[in-house]
Structure 1
Amino acid sequence: MMLKKLLTFADRSAITISTLCVVHCLLSPIILIALPTLTSFAIFDDEHFHIWLLYAVVPISVFAIAFGYVHQRSLSVLVTALIGIIILVLAAVLGHDVFGETGEVIASVIGAALIGFGHIKNLSLRKSNYQPYQATS
């Protein structure tokens, strides 16, 4: 029961962080145009913000999705979340240099959406069919 609560918390946390990433990517340019004095705040520095999100979302996602796969054996959830993680990592690491500003935003939004979708599906499967992991002897 404790594991189920921890995994649920991890899935919900990853969904929240992924949503923050999407909101940041889509609203930052608008906010910075409307209020240019906010550029001095570190949170609006795209590269640092993406790295901070990676430090949060990648370990949480790997933990929750891996345990979800062990319990539910849903390959589609595993693949969806992993593709999302890979896209998000590539967008954060390669960023403007490879994708350009618009491409980085699009890649980040797609990666975060895939991660969020994977966690939503993982959470849904856990709620509908949770069976505690039992090691075989």
Structure 2
Amino acid sequence: MKFFNTQLTIDKFAGTVSLVCALQCLLMPSFFIATSGLVSLSIDNEFVHSIILLIAVPVSLFALFLGLKNHKNKLIFLIGLLGLIVLIAAFFFAKIFFGENEEILFTVLGSMMVIYAHYRNHETCKEIQCKSCHD
């Protein structure tokens, strides 16, 4: 599968999925208000969030491991891994221990960390013009 062999492509995709996760978390309450709850009755926000998370975590882990293998930059990998841990913890525990606002805060924070890690992987790949990323 040539599509998933390139570091640049997988980092762009993983970063985009993380951005969608953050935007969904931030904009879904506004969507509910704007539609006066009519459309929102059929949309389960937690279900959408879980689907995005189920896509974001494995894709991001794959991209981060590829970046670690290709670039040997442990800091980028650790930032991305910590961001994923924050995202997972926000989904499962933030609402229980804190509240919905804190869940949103932690989700956005985790997403931004993951997006930053993918951005750094992408930029590192372009800076050093590594052949393993572009094959």
Q: Structure 2: give runs of 5+ residues left out of the alignment.
A: none
- Which SS does the other structure have where 2:132 is aligned? coil
Match of 2:20, as an amino acid? L
Identical pairs, percent = 27
Amino acid in the other structure paired with 1:7:
Q
Q: Distance between the aligned counterparts of 2:4 and 2:24, measured in 1?
A: 30
RMSD between superposed Cα atoms in Å? 1.9
**1:82 to 2:81 alignment:** yes
- State how 1:9-28 maps to structure 2 within 5 Å: 9-28=9-28
Find the counterpart in structure 2 of residue 29 from structure 1.
29
- CA deviations 1:50-101 (Å, max 9, x no partner) are 2111211111111111111112111221111011000000111124212310
Q: Give the Cα separation in 1 of the matches to 2:47 and 2:94.
A: 11
Higher deviation after alignment, 2-11 or 97-106? 2-11
- Output the amino acid matched with 2:29: P
Contact 1:91 1:99 in 2 (8 A): no
| Matched residues, number | 130
> Which secondary structure state, in structure 2, belongs to the residue aligned with residue 25 of structure 1?
helix
1:60 partnered with 2:59: yes
Contact 2:17 2:52 (8 Å CA) reproduced:
yes
How far apart are 1:5 and its partner, in Å? 5.2
The TM-score with structure 1 as length reference comes to 0.85
Alignment-mate amino acid for residue 57 of structure 1: A
